[in-house]
Chains A and B, each alone.
Chain A
Amino acid sequence: MTTDRRHLVIGLAGAGKSTFIAALRQITEAGDVEGALRLVALGEDDTHVNALHGRWIRCEQLERTRPEQERVLRFRLTASGSTNGADLEIPDLSGELIEQQWSLRLCAPDYLEAARSCSGVLLFVHPRTIVSATRIADANVAMSGLGVTDDESPSLAREYDPRAAQTQVKLVELLQFLREFRGEDVRTPVAIAVSAWDLAEGSSDGGTPSTPLTWLSRNMPLFFQFLSMNADRMPWQAFGVSAQGGDLGTDHETLLKMQPSKRVRVVNGQGETCSITAPIVWLDTASGVSGQ
């Protein structure tokens, strides 16, 4: 018996979507992580996913998905010990095309269709690429506190460019569009994956180590409020995903020597270790799909 599920994997450019897909392939194919879903069979055309996985396993930097590289990836996954499999469809969408929904107010019809037909959404956020909103007044106070005088800042502001908007504002709009495409009353589970979690985790919260939930509430408060206030129609859960295992520049040799599956570390919203397939299992459950 199979039950199909289709989860949309989205995020702004450089959010870590492709790295996640490559690591997901590794874990589900190797089958060496307890509790993780497993790959039942290879796909009919694995060109794209093999290319991603090949670079990942050689610890090479993955290129961003370009619009012309977009395609739907299919994994037939099953729970350990089960003979049932379910197809997981992941449209691998370029971050640039997703970004243009905010900046150009344009959307690819393929995305619209994928958004309408998906059972859940896996949304990626990368701690190193978020644009936050520092007030000029706060920055000036901080600088004067450090005894720094800024005589070089231009007195004229640059013209407004929507591409430079706060990341959290863009992500709110992205989810608002998604809900509009699907209909206001259609339940849409959203798993938020904070990429490069090993980087984000280090930032403590009053002495307490961050969890994905506390990280989101502290670094993306507008987005966090939006998620919390719309949880009745958009149930959500946060995960921290370290899909690469370290810095490919400084840790390259160390990473190459590691058992590939050991490079991947995932935690749930409360900071408890789980497998990389946990966000998918959560989406399956929240969307009512019997995926295993």
Chain B
Amino acid sequence: MTSLTLSPTLKCGQPSCTVESTGQCLEGLPPASCPNRIEVVVSSKAESAAGTSATPLPKQVQLRSGRELSFLEAGNLLASPFVRVIAIVGDNDAGKTTLLASLFDQFCRGPYGGYNFAGSLSLQAFDRRVYLGHTRCGAANADTIRTSHAWDINFLHLRLRQASLDEAARELLISDIPGETCKRARISTDNCRQLRALLRADRLVLAIDGEKLADHKSREATASEAVQLLRRLIETSVVRHGIPVDVLVTKWDRIVSAASIEDVRATMGRVRLQLEYSPYFKGHALSIEEVAARPLNASSIPHCFGMGSIPSLWCESAKPRYRSVQRDSNSRRQMDRFVATVSIEEDPLV
């Protein structure tokens, strides 16, 4: 009888890291969560029954998956001064995944919104998201994969850079939170607290299903539920106080087709007033955008309608972050006394 045994060994993609021999990560991260890790899997046949000597098969090095990054896997990037964490929330079918897929698809066709694609650690995750919108899937109509419910927040990584190359690339970590998870978070504080990883978010994007807004029967309920979700996230302190909030009215082509533009704008105008006069929303900047990431075939609205400002909005504040410094001129530590004497630029985001 032949069995296959696999023995994993940790290696690191960074040549100067000694994790293989010492177990110590160069970045100080737990080895299992370092995104630079390379797991070498040695496969060997063991002739257990006959007791003959093992015949080793060629070794294969396991590479990173290219899928969504877990919070731990994103840890290395989170330490970068140029990272921006974008949290996208919204109910089922609000168009969150389609928004992300279309954004990536747009970069597959050229620079977009003043930015260029400079890399991604979750390329296969993006490719999966655009797959059902491409002819290579074999279907006659475009679709989007469903993001399954989970409390663990995963991120898609996108590295964008301006063509001038004057500034460093921006690292976007974008959370694609399942609609079902958002729905549960909306109705319960306990559920909402499960999303505490969103505390790291620099920007909150709330997607509202334009198709439901187009229908007068579901319009007000849809808007109300979206505001509830936003309020729950803020009141539960799952998102930081003062982060910008972008409300995206998705599937704008359906609203145009239903001749509901004025009605939807009136509803969203009331949403704006409600938020701007609500104490819980004080300190948050609000924008309301009308977008159509992937309009229906017969629509005259172009792909990624209204999305041109997204790359710059998501990247613009990605300036170096500084930790808050305790100024203590009487400290026993020489560094603390030195810091107390100098002027330090404060990060407006902190």
Interface set of A (CB-CB < 8 Å, partner B): 101-102, 105-109, 112, 116, 131, 133-137, 139-141, 150, 153-158, 160, 162, 164-166, 168-169, 172-173, 176-177, 180-184, 186, 221-222, 225-226, 228-232
Contacts and interface: CB of A to CB of B under 8 A. Distances in A.
Interface of B: 13-16, 36, 40, 58-66, 105, 107-111, 116-121, 123-124, 126-128, 130-143, 145, 159, 161, 163, 165, 169, 294-297, 303
Nearest to A158: B138
**Which A-B residue pairs are the 6 nearest by beta carbons?**
A229-B118, A153-B140, A157-B139, A157-B137, A180-B13, A225-B116
Chain B: interface secondary structure? loop
A155 B110 contact: no
A140 B133 CA distance: 12
Specify which of B40, B110, B117 lies most central, judged by the most chain A CB atoms within 10 Å of its CB: B117
A135 B121 CA distance: 24
A258 to B, nearest CB: 39
A206 B230 CA distance: 49
Given A168-B108, A221-B109, A222-B108, A162 B124 contact: yes
B65 A225 contact: no
Contacts, number: 150
Given A176-B119, A183-B14, A133 B130 contact: yes
Contacts of A173: 66, 123-124
A230 to B, nearest CB: 6
Contacts of B161: 229
Nearest to A173: B123
A112 to B, nearest CB: 6
A229 B165 contact: yes
B15 A106 contact: no
Nearest to A220: B108
Given A136-B140, A155-B140, A230 B118 contact: yes
A61 to B, nearest CB: 27
Contacts of B66: 102, 105, 173
Contact of A135 (B36, B65, B135): B135
Contacts of B58: 108-109
Contact of B133 (A135, A168, A172): A135
A26 to B, nearest CB: 33
Contacts of A155: 139-141
Among B62, B134, B165, the one with the most A-chain Cβ atoms within 10 Å of its Cβ is B134
12 contacts: A109-B58, A136-B141, A158-B137, A166-B127, A180-B13, A180-B36, A183-B16, A221-B109, A222-B107, A226-B118, A229-B165, A230-B119
Pick the most buried of A131, A157, A182, A186: most chain B CB atoms within 10 A of its CB: A157
A229 B297 contact: no
B297 to A, nearest CB: 5
Contacts of B295: 137
A225 B127 contact: no
Contacts of B142: 135-137
A5 to B, nearest CB: 20
A225 B108 CA distance: 9
Given A109-B59, A228-B116, A154 B140 contact: yes
A222 to B, nearest CB: 5
Contacts of B118: 225-226, 229-230
Contacts of A231: 165
A164 B61 contact: no
A222 B111 CA distance: 8
A183 B130 contact: no
A11 to B, nearest CB: 18
Given A183-B15, A232-B165, A106 B119 contact: no
